[in-house]
Amino acid sequence: MNEQTATPQKENNSRKGLNKQDTLVLKIILIAFLIALSFIPMSMIRGLISEREQTANEAAKEVQQKWSGSQTLVGPVLTIPYKYQDEKGETQNGYINYLPENLHISGNINTQELKRGLYEIVVYNSTLELKGTFSIKDLIGNDIPINNLLFEQTTLNIGLSDLRGINEQATLEWNGQKIDFTPGVDSHSIVSSGISTKITPQQLLTNDSVVHFIVKLKLKGSESMQFAPLGKTTRIQLTSNCKTPSFTGAFLPSEREVSNDGFSSQWEILEFNRNYSQIIKGTHRQINTPDGYTILDSGLRYASEAIAQSSFGVNLLFPVDQYQKSMRSAKYAFLIIILTFVVSFFVEIFQKKNIHPVQYLLIGLALCLFYTLLVSTSEHIGFTPAYIISALMTTSLITFYMIGILKIKKTAFTIGGLLACLYAYIFFLIQLETYALLVGSIGLFVILAIIMYFSQKINWYNN
């Protein structure tokens, strides 16, 4: 009788232990499912960040369309037609684009902010002076006979990427003589848009073998200003009140100084640093097609491409990077969600407190809501204050929620402190560039080691 009673009791204990083990496994599976479920709102939040960034870019483009876009200054360039005999013995027209012997550009760029809704867009006004010389001796001494050069059709062209940026009438002093510019450029020039003026043979062919020029321009634009190094020796000096310049293009400044008052920079470039010569020749030939149209000769076309590739300058953008930083922080959301759920699970085990799956879900939603708070507030007060405020709000919410669930203030505040440390670690991580991967890898290793340490204290088999 005693043996028969003992046997069912052992079976019941075995079933009871098995049920506890199954409950633990089921809890882990459920938490993993809730973690995966939390990534659905996170994908929507990442889409929201991209959408807000696109809206900011569209606002900037709208302002640029009404103000003026990025400016690229190319020139001045002398364009001179000439005659030659083709392979059939027929007379054809060719075109020389003659670049300056020396080119010195000095200018000041004054930036200002224009508001478009929530967004601030940087625009600028600039004052530029172009000084230099053309060596007529080198022009006459090229392989084209001087009698074939049509000097009476000579034009001086300056390329500007956005003509809306011209604030005042540009002035030209050609060997001390003042000449007015007209809108548009010679169709045979290597520049596609800008301003130009006629140069008479008397103005070009002087007793002196060198012609001096001074061009004064007032340009407005946005985002960036670029230049092309057309001189045998090109020297460019810029000053600006912009405190956060980004030097871009084919050449970096030989000298630069950036301070709280702005920046100054200087470039010095030789003709050997670029892939085109001082005299660029080409033709304008009729292509034998049913429609019959005209295209630039390859010499001019390739030179135009080479000049574009050699351009350089400065981006004049204030560091509006809250969207990039918000997106980077959102990529670490999986880390915060997983670790918060793991800590909550350990609290369940060690404190013998039950946390319902719905409560896990609400905690996950609170962690996701952090990123919408971050994006919305950063548009008004900047990324760093927004991150601090959003982290404090989220940490406080989860801490007080844990107090209500666990009824143990010390444990709840410990969870809140760990979450605050995690937010601080992520903030530090997204500020890094060169060492972000190294610091992130070390941090993940330490976190995994801590989880492994506490997991070994769990009696997984209830024995």
* Unique residue bearing structure tokens 């020396």: 102
Residue of higher predicted confidence among 277 and 229:
229
Spatial contact of 228 and 203, defined as CB atoms under 8 Å apart: no
Specify the pLDDT at position 141.
62
Specify the pLDDT at position 19.
58
Specify the pLDDT at position 10.
46
For the record, the structure tokens of 102 come out as 């020396």
Chain centroid to CA 461: 54
What is the CATH architecture of 69-315?
Sandwich (2.60)
149: pLDDT strictly greater than 50: yes
Most confident of 84-88, 142-146, 288-292, 347-351: 347-351
> What does the pLDDT average to over 52-59?
84
d(CA 229, CA 273): 9
For the record, the structure tokens of 430 come out as 């997204």
Per-domain residue ranges for the chain?
Answer: 13-60+322-455, 69-315
Radius of gyration of the chain (CA): 35
pLDDT per position as a tens digit, 324-335: 888 888 888 888
| DSSP conformation letters of 349-375 | HHHT----HHHHHHHHHHHHHHHHHHH
Specify the pLDDT at position 18.
46
Residue of higher predicted confidence among 290 and 50:
50
| DSSP conformation letters of 400-438 | HHHHHHH--HHHHHHHHHHHHHHHHHHHHHHH-STTHHH
Specify the pLDDT at position 14.
45
d(CA 66, CA 337): 45
Specify the pLDDT at position 368.
92
> What does the pLDDT average to over 167-188?
88
Least confident of 7-16, 231-240, 388-397, 452-461: 7-16
Specify the pLDDT at position 370.
92
pLDDT per position as a tens digit, 334-373: 888 988 888 888 888 887 888 888 888 999 999 999 999 9
State the pairing for strand pair 119-135/255-259.
unpaired
